[in-house]
Amino acid sequence: MGMHDYDESTDELARSVFEYALDRIRMEPPMDGPVGVEQLTEAVGQTITAEGLGGTAALATFTDHLAPACISVDHPRYMAWVPCAPTDTAVLFDLIVGASALSATWWFDGSGAIYAENQALRWISDLAGMPEQAGGCFVPGGTMGNLSALVAARDTAIRRRGDPDKRPARWAVVASEGAHSSVSSAARVMDVDVLLAPTDSDRRLRGGAVAEAIAARPEGTEAFAVVGTSGTTNLGTVDALDEIASVAAANSLWFHVDGAYGGAGLAAPSTRHVFEGIEHCDSLIVDPHKWLFAPYDCAALIYRDPAVARLAHTQQAGYLDSINERSDWNPSDYAHHLSRRPRGLPFWFSLAVHGTRSYSEAVEKTLTVTREGAALVESTPYLELIMEPTLSILAFRRNGWTAEEYGAWSDSLLEEGSALVVPTTVDGAPALRLCIVNPRTEIDDLAAIVESLA
């Protein structure tokens, strides 16, 4: 029998795969840790062979050696970078997405999946107060979301100029020092410049700084967009979105909001107000794989006017004419991509099952734990809180510690399998940063980390 035939051995493998997947969903996630390539080579060796290993052996290779060489991002004490804490429901549905051979590239192929994805996007658009016609698609991550939005922004600026002779020598995007690294990465890919605007004493980008950065641009450079960050990755601060929106409008600039991490805070009544002005954005990204409990990889990209994004992104070719001739809603038109899986479906299913109120409550839970953690840090003599958390990032210092001491402490926590926390840099000095996006993280988990710093 061929490898595309469902036979007895496939059936046996199916049972093993389901059993393993279900066990993993049910259990407390293991912490595990990175393993060196030599050690993996010794344990696993060459897995791709002419004859194949067979299902049982290949699965055992994964479960016994490869999986334990991966850290579970949903561990409640994984608080480095931005973790991912998917709901069991979302993870279960990911199995169905994988099993169903779904393409959500075009409406023609994936209308049912795209209909559901669009409702999930609509929930985020509504939280942000975006207009009825707003829409977009799910992309793999915030990096692709930022790039695609900025490409649409520049395309719009070019179209507005009309005459190619009227184009500036250099295009530029205005962003703060706190903007995510993917913004400058997108600028490099697009061969545009970044006009860096300083943040104020609250570590937020303000309208005045944006206006000054535009005014101070080099001769021959024109700005086409400004990026506001609603939840900086390092400290979780939210830029003054209302002020930035006004400056963007006054200068006819595209206003992009990067809410990859923090956009989920829109769903929490206690933090909704810090996003004021977000409703004026031309584009917005929010990563459900960060703080909205979806598995990787899932980032929402939403445009105020999807038609302009479509002009920028639709690919043209003879083999695509039959699709482009239709007036359907094709997710492929709204980002730098073509073929795509319906990566928004696990998120949609979980939202549909649990309802939006559960999402608000789960985000609030993480905010409460973060605030309790801030109080704990403040009351601990050997720690210094860097700032009251705006969202769910808790940044502080261990008095007197050097970068080496932070590093050694972080390594030892992971070695014990007790937590994953890595140092960061704030104002040029090492600091600790806990990112709490997992509703299973309790104040006791933070207390254990604080204790280990004594």
Ligand X SMILES: *Cc1c(COP(=O)(O)O)cnc(C)c1O
Name the site residues for ligand X (rule: CB under 6 A).
82, 141-143, 146, 180, 182, 229, 233, 258, 260-261, 287, 299
Structure tokens at 37: 């390539």
CB of 120 to ligand X, least distance (A): 16
Q: Which is nearer to ligand X, 31 or 299 (CB)?
A: 299
Q: Which is nearer to ligand X, 312 or 437 (CB)?
A: 437
CB of 231 to ligand X, least distance (A): 6
Query: In 4-87, where does DSSP find H-type helix?
Result: 8-26, 37-43, 55-61
CB of 287 to ligand X, least distance (A): 5
Q: How far is Cα 208 from Cα 200, in angstroms, rounded to an integer?
A: 10
> Which burial class, exposed, middle or buried, applies to 68 when counting CB atoms under 10 A from its CB (0-12, 13-18, 19+)?
middle
CB of 183 to ligand X, least distance (A): 7
Specify the amino acid at residue 412: S
CB of 137 to ligand X, least distance (A): 14
CB of 39 to ligand X, least distance (A): 28
Q: Which is nearer to ligand X, 230 or 441 (CB)?
A: 230
| Residues in CB range of 21: below 8 A, 6 or more apart | 95
CB of 143 to ligand X, least distance (A): 3
Task: Please list the residues that pair with 258 across neighbouring strands.
Answer: 229, 285
Q: Which is nearer to ligand X, 260 or 302 (CB)?
A: 260
Q: Which is nearer to ligand X, 148 or 350 (CB)?
A: 148
Residue nearest to ligand X (CB): 142
> Which burial class, exposed, middle or buried, applies to 389 when counting CB atoms under 10 A from its CB (0-12, 13-18, 19+)?
buried
CB of 430 to ligand X, least distance (A): 20
Q: Which helix (H) or strand (E) holds 297?
A: none
| Residues in CB range of 388: below 8 A, 6 or more apart | 374
Task: Please list the residues that pair with 431 across neighbouring strands.
Answer: 424
Task: Tell whether omega for the bond before 321 is within 30 degrees of 0, i.e. cis.
Answer: no
Question: Three-state SS for 327?
Answer: coil
Name which of 102, 149, 452 is nearest 301 in CA terms. Answer: 149
CA distances from 61 to 20, 28, 154, 364, 438 (A): 13, 21, 47, 40, 29
CB of 349 to ligand X, least distance (A): 20
CB of 233 to ligand X, least distance (A): 4
Specify the amino acid at residue 40: L
Q: Which is nearer to ligand X, 278 or 323 (CB)?
A: 278
CB of 142 to ligand X, least distance (A): 2
Q: Which is nearer to ligand X, 343 or 398 (CB)?
A: 343
Specify the amino acid at residue 342: P
Task: Please list the residues that pair with 284 across neighbouring strands.
Answer: 257, 302
Q: Which is nearer to ligand X, 260 or 323 (CB)?
A: 260
Name which of 295, 420, 438 is nearest 366 in CA terms. Answer: 438
Strands 283-286 and 193-197, sheet pairing? unpaired
| DSSP per position, 305-320 | SHHHHHHHH----GGG
Q: Which is nearer to ligand X, 85 or 376 (CB)?
A: 85
Q: Which is nearer to ligand X, 118 or 148 (CB)?
A: 148
Give the distance, in angstroms, between the CA of residue 214 and the centroid of all CA atoms in the same chain: 28
Q: Which is nearer to ligand X, 296 or 329 (CB)?
A: 296
| DSSP per position, 184-209 | HHHHHHHT-EEEEE---TTS---HHH
Q: How many residues does the chain have?
A: 454
